[in-house]
Structure 1
Amino acid sequence: MSRKLILGIAIIALLVAACGEDEEEAAPATTAAPATTAAPVEEAPEEVPEEEPEEPGGPYEAMIRPAEQPWKIGYGDGLSGIPFTDSVTDNINAVAAEMGVEIVYCDNAYDQERTVECSNLLVTQQVDGVIFANWIAGTEELIAGIFQDAGIPCVSYDGPHPGCVAFGPDNYNAALEAGRYLAAFAQEQGWAAEDTHLLLVWTPDVPVHKARADGARDGVRESFAIPDENIHDIPTEGLTDTLPNVTTWATANPGAQHVLCFGHSDQPGVDCALALEQSGFLGNAAAASLGASDEALVDLRGRSDDESVFKATISYFPERYGQYLVPAIVDLIEGKTVPERLIPSVSPVTRDNVEQLYPGGELDETAMGDEDEYQAVIREASGAFRIGYGDGLSGIPFTDSVTDNINAVAAEMGVEIVYCDNAYDQERTVECSNLLVTQQVDGVIFANWIAGTEELIAGIFQDAGIPCVSYDGPHPGCVAFGPDNYNAALEAGRYLAAFAQEQGWAAEDTHLLLVWTPDVPVHKARADGARDGVRESFAIPDENIHDIPTEGLTDTLPNVTTWATANPGAQHVLCFGHSDQPGVDCALALEQSGYLGHAAAASLGASDEALVDLRQRSDDESVFKATISYFPERYGTYLVPAIVDLIEGKTVPERLIPSVSPVTRDNVFDLYPG
């Protein structure tokens, strides 16, 4: 099978995998050994839309605790190099380290042949259990069978596989929460159920949408008995159908007093709210949806309850998957009972908590990290421009969140998005780029991660005279948007310097360790940034600055320990890790070497190995102090204004960099509630 075809199939798999297929109700979990941390997960009720879901026998708790033995856990990564899967991998590594188990890694690479090869390799390496992601539709039995034939327990995420525990968000349950929120809102307003209508916006041909619509309906009716005749399906074929279809319903139902609306995702939810506002229901309607995407966050931040019908979006945090996955596979290996399906908890994001859960300031005027203080302003464009958008790879949560944000901001600015999925494939990326030119777009936003094709793709747009903005990968002649490694590390260095000064340490008595891999250019930029950030205000002498070279993530602990052993006279130590795992491991090595109270470590990424430490241990217990975070899911708030500015002839810097900020024990629960 060609890679191009495989990728296409995989995208379909992602869309249907989370649909919550009917499964037998899982047995209650056996209580695990005493734990240091608990990540609660719900057992999935059977999704029988016409009946109330049964209450589970009790919540299974995924306990982060010392394993009975240093088990070997196979991990088949869905596709490395994508921020979504990389954050899952980082969290798996962090939790595995806490539990004292070994991760045996293999990248399934979003490819059928590679996934089979990885699965067999993990079996050959005699792993005790397997965590994996496989999004190639139709291969579920094949992959699961490899582990079952070898007698190896398995946990899959974001795609159920027969015989393996399935972990991932449940569409019915997430929508159930949205329905419950809408019911509570209606009751707070004093609306009578018989005078209230419920609109369910969903696409009938998409199974996941049916589960969501059913969940929303059941969530509302748990406590707010809207009669059957007041519940209305609003069928759509695409995201642009919601506004006209809801408007049509409102026109046909002038006598409706109050309206609740559920959107299967945030764009339909926001559009339903807008249609109801335009139809005169402001103050007598409420809308909610799923995803915590930026179209919802823009509304929640930018408008008050008195100005907007949109009230809430339901959020879950996939980047924290490891907190569930690793304990679950360890429990299986140790013979404990784990439900057949594990579902992470979800919660509403409203105007009351949006800034705590998704801090981002004012989205209509977002400053870039550029020396000229360029501002990407969300405003009405001077014309209804057509913006080509070459999606890096649809169906991956990271890119989907970028796409959602681009669509939301484009709608606000009054421009049209002409979409094409580059599908992480060279032929398809060339085809999409030429297609966008043929469709005479006014400008292009795109992601292309095929190494060596940068000039080829950028040249297509330049030859056509079309301005372009690329993200997460610079292309010659296009504005490049994405986090800057040097600047992010600069912030880490500044944080470490401030920490040292607060402790009253003298610069000449302090050593700075820079943990990075010399063969990786991005690591060099990070190490340089951290060094410069420290020395801006804390003049550590050259002889006290030490590179700690590594070849892989597991090298940090022994290499820092070796340095500490060789430098027994060092009074104070600052440590920078090129990413969070090295940062946390450097801190651990310094603690074990007797530097607790005389050392501080910081790193980049806001990955879960860092968040776990910041949440669970105090400053007195841990050398690790901070991680630097940026929010790639908000890219559209920069990308769309930038391309509109280019089209309108305004000056845009060649490089745009989103702001970054430290996550510490003081703010971790506000920025990353867990």
Structure 2
Amino acid sequence: MERAKKAVTKKSLPSPGLAPKEDSRASSVQSVVRACAILKCFRSNAEVLQLDEIATRCGLPKPTAYRLLATLVECGMLQRPERNRYRLPGSSPRRVRYRFGYAAQSDISSFARIVSDSIRSSAYSAGIDLIVLDNHLSAKIALRNVNAFVHERVDFVIEFQTVEKAATAISARLRLAGIPCLAIEVPHPQAFYFGANNYRAGVMGGRALGQACLDQWRGQADQVLLLEQLAAGALPQARLTGTIAGLREVLPKFSEQNVEFLEGHGRFASSWEAARRYLARSRAQRVLISGVNDEGCRGALAAFSEAGRAEHCIVVGQNASMEVRQDMRQPGSRFVGSVGYFPEQYGDAVVSLAIRVLEGDPPPPSTFVKHQLVTPENVDKLYPHDALSAKQGGDSILYSGR
């Protein structure tokens, strides 16, 4: 009996020189496992990834991924060549100083001004020489500017012009010169696209317009006015198609026979005149208004106010421009919302995409901005510094995030 007991005891002891067997899952440190996953998600030393891409590939929340990335950079396991962009340390840093050509739309709207300011700032931060020319909303001038960029032998062109008929000629000229291009808001053949997801933005605005109609008029509307910009082409027009779809989601009995399109050219003055002509022949008491951008919607609202009929309309814009945000803060504003495009973020994204192209890591053909409905209820949260900017007579590019 005593001998058997000793045998059992001896068998239960571990072999000399071997550690007790443990559960590998219990002994792993979760933060180390996650850090290793981040390092493994890079497919090559040349690949440069943004925070969003890393978080998606590793299945991590963005705050967690950000903290781990900061630690890996601090420890020398990763490099951060630009803000919000990461790569493995084996890749050599960029030594070439690029020259970009930027063809700005114009400075006619706060949206365009902020896009341009954002691109200038981001190019400066990235050490890029930026040549800026103004298209002045003219196809002829846009073509002349492209020829100037070719003459200057720039490495990359950022094109922000809204005349669709000029897009093909611009792309052909750049392709002949071997210069890659990124187009903002209006697609250009064989150019990378950055800008709105137009249909989705339109649906978002249409839903807001329909909900306001339910809240204020019990879902009863006599007319829907949509301000067009035909020269910009079919893609921006998709905002209006989306608006109608969003309205029908909220108001199933809404009839498209009650929709009227007005050509406002995407400008305040032209839309004002078009709405004036409409009011001269219409006695509709409940009119829903939207359009391809805020400028057109502001122009239409100005015509209604001039005629003493502001209370007869409800307006939802596109772009959430400084002027509309200020209007929404006023008591009794007829602007119940505007779909935000956040142009203050364009610069970082556009410049980063351009560098990726030049460094052999091209992005997808289209990159869409993230949209959010800006309303009187959330405008101060999203843009808390608008009041300060207004006092200084400028456009607000400061925001708190989404």
Render the CA deviation track for 1:388-442: whole Å, top value 9, x for unaligned: xxxxxxxxxxxxxxxxxxxxxxxxxxxxxxxxxxxxxxxxxxxxxxxxxxxxxxx
2:226 is equivalent to residue 201 of structure 1:
yes
Render the CA deviation track for 1:45-71: whole Å, top value 9, x for unaligned: xxxxxxxxxxxxxxxxx9941465517
2:62 is equivalent to residue 35 of structure 1:
no
Q: Residue 162 of structure 1 corresponds to which residue in structure 2?
A: 189
Give the whole-Å Cα distance in 2 for the aligned partners of 1:114 and 1:206.
Answer: 19
Q: Residue 371 of structure 2 corresponds to which residue in structure 1?
A: 346
2:383 is equivalent to residue 632 of structure 1:
no
Q: Which amino acid is 1:278 matched to?
A: R
Give the whole-Å Cα distance in 2 for the aligned partners of 1:280 and 1:104.
Answer: 50
Q: Which amino acid is 2:246 matched to?
A: G
Return the match for 1:65 from 82, 85, 97: 85
Q: Residue 132 of structure 1 corresponds to which residue in structure 2?
A: 158
Aligned residue for 1:632, secondary structure, equals coil
Q: Residue 203 of structure 2 corresponds to which residue in structure 1?
A: 176
Contact 1:273 / 1:309 at 8 angstroms: preserved in 2? no
Q: Residue 323 of structure 1 corresponds to which residue in structure 2?
A: 348
Give the whole-Å Cα distance in 1 for the aligned partners of 2:382 and 2:196.
Answer: 18
Return the match for 2:212 from 160, 175, 185: 185
Give the whole-Å Cα distance in 1 for the aligned partners of 2:279 and 2:152.
Answer: 52
TM-score by length of 2: 0.58
Report how far residue 325 of structure 1 moved. 1.3
2:278 is equivalent to residue 245 of structure 1:
yes
Q: Residue 297 of structure 2 corresponds to which residue in structure 1?
A: 266
Distance change in 2, residues 1:221/1:121 (3 Å): same
Render the CA deviation track for 1:592-628: whole Å, top value 9, x for unaligned: xxxxxxxxxxxxxxxxxxxxxxxxxxxxxxxxxxxxx
Q: Which amino acid is 2:341 matched to?
A: Y
Contact 1:158 / 1:166 at 8 angstroms: preserved in 2? yes
2:241 is equivalent to residue 232 of structure 1:
no
Give the whole-Å Cα distance in 2 for the aligned partners of 1:80 and 1:286.
Answer: 29
Contact 2:205 / 2:338 at 8 angstroms: preserved in 1? yes
Give the whole-Å Cα distance in 2 for the aligned partners of 1:259 and 1:79.
Answer: 35
Aligned residue for 1:242, secondary structure, equals helix
Contact 2:181 / 2:191 at 8 angstroms: preserved in 1? yes
Render the CA deviation track for 1:89-118: whole Å, top value 9, x for unaligned: 212333x3xxxxx52433446565563243
Unaligned 5+ residue runs, structure 2? 1-42, 56-81, 108-112, 136-140, 265-269
Distance change in 2, residues 1:91/1:197 (3 Å): farther
Q: Which amino acid is 2:377 matched to?
A: D
Contact 1:180 / 1:222 at 8 angstroms: preserved in 2? yes
Q: Residue 148 of structure 1 corresponds to which residue in structure 2?
A: 175
Distance change in 2, residues 1:181/1:77 (3 Å): same
Report how far residue 198 of structure 1 moved. 4.9
Q: Residue 448 of structure 1 corresponds to which residue in structure 2?
A: none
Correspondences of 1:495-510 after superposition (within 5 Å): none
Aligned residue for 1:222, secondary structure, equals helix
Give the whole-Å Cα distance in 2 for the aligned partners of 1:280 and 1:205.
Answer: 29
Contact 2:119 / 2:348 at 8 angstroms: preserved in 1? no
Correspondences of 1:586-625 after superposition (within 5 Å): none
Give the whole-Å Cα distance in 2 for the aligned partners of 1:231 and 1:297.
Answer: 28
Return the match for 1:301 from 325, 329, 334: 329
Q: Residue 287 of structure 1 corresponds to which residue in structure 2?
A: 315
Q: Residue 101 of structure 2 corresponds to which residue in structure 1?
A: 76
Contact 2:123 / 2:129 at 8 angstroms: preserved in 1? no
Aligned residue for 1:260, secondary structure, equals strand
Give the whole-Å Cα distance in 2 for the aligned partners of 1:135 and 1:160.
Answer: 10
Report how far residue 36 of structure 1 moved. 3.9
Give the whole-Å Cα distance in 2 for the aligned partners of 1:362 and 1:278.
Answer: 32
Give the whole-Å Cα distance in 1 for the aligned partners of 2:322 and 2:101.
Answer: 30
Return the match for 2:121 from 75, 90, 97: 90
Contact 2:203 / 2:244 at 8 angstroms: preserved in 1? yes
Report how far residue 165 of structure 1 moved. 0.3
Distance change in 2, residues 1:269/1:631 (3 Å): same
Contact 1:234 / 1:245 at 8 angstroms: preserved in 2? no
Greater per-residue helix proportion: 2
Aligned residue for 1:302, secondary structure, equals coil
Contact 1:263 / 1:290 at 8 angstroms: preserved in 2? yes
When the two chains are superposed, the root-mean-square deviation of aligned CA atoms in Å is: 4.6
Report how far residue 175 of structure 1 moved. 3.0
Distance change in 2, residues 1:158/1:39 (3 Å): farther
Q: Residue 67 of structure 2 corresponds to which residue in structure 1?
A: none
Report how far residue 632 of structure 1 moved. 1.8
Distance change in 2, residues 1:35/1:224 (3 Å): same
Return the match for 2:248 from 193, 200, 221: 221
Q: Which amino acid is 2:131 matched to?
A: C
Give the whole-Å Cα distance in 1 for the aligned partners of 2:388 and 2:124.
Answer: 35
Report how far residue 217 of structure 1 moved. 0.9
2:381 is equivalent to residue 356 of structure 1:
yes
Report how far residue 352 of structure 1 moved. 0.9
Aligned residue for 1:233, secondary structure, equals strand
Contact 1:75 / 1:104 at 8 angstroms: preserved in 2? yes
Aligned residue for 1:78, secondary structure, equals strand
Aligned residue for 1:227, secondary structure, equals coil
Report how far residue 156 of structure 1 moved. 3.0
Contact 1:289 / 1:314 at 8 angstroms: preserved in 2? yes
Give the whole-Å Cα distance in 2 for the aligned partners of 1:321 and 1:245.
Answer: 36
Give the whole-Å Cα distance in 2 for the aligned partners of 1:145 and 1:178.
Answer: 35
Report how far residue 248 of structure 1 moved. 4.4
Give the whole-Å Cα distance in 2 for the aligned partners of 1:274 and 1:309.
Answer: 10
Q: Percent identity?
A: 20
Contact 1:263 / 1:287 at 8 angstroms: preserved in 2? no
Aligned residue for 1:296, secondary structure, equals helix
Contact 1:291 / 1:313 at 8 angstroms: preserved in 2? yes
Give the whole-Å Cα distance in 1 for the aligned partners of 2:259 and 2:386.
Answer: 35
Contact 2:311 / 2:334 at 8 angstroms: preserved in 1? no
Render the CA deviation track for 1:149-202: whole Å, top value 9, x for unaligned: 46554323355332110223455443332112123334556935xx44551232
Contact 1:88 / 1:318 at 8 angstroms: preserved in 2? no
2:150 is equivalent to residue 119 of structure 1:
yes
Report how far residue 350 of structure 1 moved. 1.7
Give the whole-Å Cα distance in 2 for the aligned partners of 1:293 and 1:63.
Answer: 26
Give the whole-Å Cα distance in 2 for the aligned partners of 1:244 and 1:149.
Answer: 46
Aligned residue for 2:225, secondary structure, equals strand
